[in-house]
Structure formats: C-alpha cells, structure tokens
Structure 1
Amino acid sequence: MAWLPKLARMAVLVLLLAFLLQPSWFEPLLRPLVQQNAPAIYNQGSLFWLTVLHLRTVFVATLAAAIVAVALAILVTRRAGAEFLPLSRSLVNIGQTFPPVAVLALAVPIFGFGEKPTLIALFLYGLLPIFENALTGLTTLPPAVMEAARGAGMTERQRLFNIELPLALPVILTGIRLSVVISLATATIGSTVAAKTLGEVIIAGLQSNNLAFVLQGGLIVAALAVLIHDALQALERFLSGRVRA
C-alpha cells in the first residue's frame, strides 16, 4: 500500500493544476457556498498568475534567508567565528520575535506598499529554522570522516565544500523545508500591503462575505504547502541515502 500516498499526492497536483487553469470546471461545487448572484469563482484576477507570483515571493525570500543563514552557520562553526554564535542567534531570532504583521507595519513607511515589505517579513521569519538546522548539520559531522579529511591534507576550505556542506545538506534542507512551508502561509498577509499573493483571494472573500473565495485561496495555499513539503522531504531522503552510501 506504499503507492497510496504517491497516488494521493498526484491527485492533489492534478486537481490543483486543473483548478488553476480551468477554475470554471469547479463552479458547480462552489456555487452552494455563495449568495445568489455572487460569483463562485474568483473573478478579480487570474488564480494561476496569483499562484505564480505567490510562489515567486516565497522562493526569493527563502533563497535570501538560506544564503544568509547558512553563511552565518558556517561563520560560527569556524574557529575564528565561534564567538559570534550568541550574536548570530539573536539576529536570526528577530523574525520570530516580531510577528510578520509588525514587520510589515514597520517596513511599509520605509519601502512603500508592494512586494518589498512582504519579502523582508518572510526573509526574517525564515532565518531561524534554516540557521539552526545548518548549525546542527555542521556540528554533528562524523569525527572519523573529518579526521580522515585532515589526514588527507585537505585545507579548511576544501573540507567545507567537499565534506562538511555535502554531509550537512540533508539537515540544511530540512530547515529550508520548514521555512518554505511557513512562508507559503505567511505570504498571504502580504496582500494587506498590496503584494500580489493568494491573500488577495482570501481578503476579497472576507470583504464580500464570499466563502467560496476564502476557500479557494486557503485550499490553493494548503495544496502548495503539502506538495512542496513532500517534494523537499523526498529530496532529503534521496540526499540522506547518498550520504550514507
């Protein structure tokens, strides 16, 4: 029965693509959720392009967070940068200390309305899980492997790129997965400051008391989170298998 989860994920993917490309096919299912004469399918923009823009925002913010968080983890695991560990932890905890809504409120007066405040909020919110996992991955490497690398005459740079990062990659990817899933949901609030995300659909539904709109936005985000989570988890298992081999 191991094929059942794969079949379920494939069904979710097919349904998601069908809904984004041909939402009118699903109108009969959503019609009972709306008042008479109210639209059952979101009609204030393209659901497909809102999804693409939502994913782009999450990707850019997560990529920036991953670069900064992994760089910080590398710094504090070197002999010369170990003393910066407390400071680094304080920096990456900023995103968890301030709610994304508060970050948006502070960023809008500086950067204006649009995507930039959302990117900043998601970037700060995504730092902690990636940093902590990168730190764990780089500090729990097999001592025998590291000793063999030193014995082979590898420089610190060679050990980092040829041994440490490849071995730590599955653990780092776990942090990136957590960051992506958090950002997918959090990005919806970006629409409150005019960012183009799936939050537009949810907000439009709340403003017009249209449950179908709210359900569409929520289900698309949920489906994306499940599919991306499972894809990254599969990649982690693949990389872990290669590391053990």
Structure 2
Amino acid sequence: MLIDAHCHLDFPAFDADRDAVFERASSAGVGHFVIPGTIRARWDAVLGVGRRHDVSVCLGLHPYFMESHRDSDLDALAQALDDNPQVVAVGECGIDARFPETLEAQWKLFDAQLRLAKARKLPVVIHCVQANDKVAKRLRQLALPVGGLIHAFAGSPEQAGRFLELGFVVGLGGAVTFERAKRLHRAVGSLPDDGYVLETDSPDMPLAGHQGQRNEPAALVQVCRAVAALRSQSPECVAANSAANARRLFRL
C-alpha cells in the first residue's frame, strides 16, 4: 500500500469532487493520506477530512501565508493540539526564503511551532525553500525528540544527509519526475531505505508533463516509479519502504 505523506485534500480545489479523488487514489493503490494544516481558518476543514479512517492530520501555520496569520494563532494552535490528540504532527510550518520581506517573522513563527512540537513530543512537517542549511542548523540547536518530515525536498545529497542525522526523513514528490532535477536525483539515489517518504503535495507540485494541472494522490504511483528508477529498486520495494517510514514517523 502507498501512503501519500503530504497532500492538501482539504483545499477548495477538491470541493467539487473530493470523494472521487479518494476513490481514484484507492484504485491506484494509495491507501492512506496525511493532510497538514496551513492557516488557522482551515484547521476545521483539515480536522473534518480527518474523520475519514484513511486520513491522518497535522495542524500548523504555513510560512507562505504570513498575511493570514495573527499573534493569537500560536495560542490557538497550542490549544488545538491539546484538544485534538489524533493530530500526528505540527505543520505545515517552516521557512520560505523566496519572501525576504517576511523572513524575520517567518523565523519567529517557525521557532514557536518547533517549541510546541518539542514540548508535546510531536514530529514536525517542514516547508523549506532555499533555506536547507539554515533550517538544519536551527533543528540541530533545538534537538527535537522525534524529528519530522522535510517536505518537498529539493536539495543535495549532503543536505539530505544532515537532515537524516537529525532524525528527519525527506519528502519526495513530483519534482523527482523532472529530467533537469539532477541534484535531486543524486540525493534520491543516496538515501537509505529509511530516509524518505513519498508525497504529492496535491493540488500542487504536479509531475513533469502536467504543469499547470491540479495534482492529486493517484499520481503517487508515478512518483513511486520515478523514485524506484533513480534508486535501481522495484516500485514495490520503494512503496513498502516509504509506507513503513510514514507509519514510523507519524505513528500510524
């Protein structure tokens, strides 16, 4: 069974056909889905989808949506984590260095969420764009007890290795299907079997040849095949390793 370790099936992009999306994924062999939170206003939607038996959820404050966050959201997140013991991780949180105008605020928000996760011994789901080295340094300083997921990893083998040393796994998605992603391909080939999970980031992160289209979890099968080719392993082996890693990380 495949597990989509990161997909936003609560997003409005799926409102018209969410059940059909789940059915297509199930038919393709995707049997479980991990849905992260992004903004406080969407946590109820995430928790709502999480009532399904095949869905696990995370709650967090995403750095891409800084204009949506308020100071009170951190207290609300702490309360939501305490009120919803079924939540498997804090996230999606992190750093997106494409937006330097909010970078200072991003770091404050990220650090606060890391501390919430540490206090509750929860893993973290991290969005990390153009900031792998700085994020790894901060994670090393905080020494989180249960690690987490570096979502949509696109770095080097050396950067992947540093995250793995800290108890994290890296998320592999549609980016691995692009021929030009040579550095990422080298990283994928260098990972140990327990160092990665497969994800789609649906509705985002479409596969090569599908740019501009809505992504969905059924595409995880193609991600799995691409990763298998890069690792010279069978798709069945990659699917089994990824699922085992997701179960271990999120205690599924």
TM-score, scaled to structure 2: 0.26
User: Could you say which structure has the higher helix fraction?
Assistant: 1
TM-score, normalised via structure 1 length: 0.26
* Structure with larger RCO (C-alpha < 8 A, sep 6+): 1
Q: Which has the higher strand share?
A: 2
Rg: which structure is higher? 1
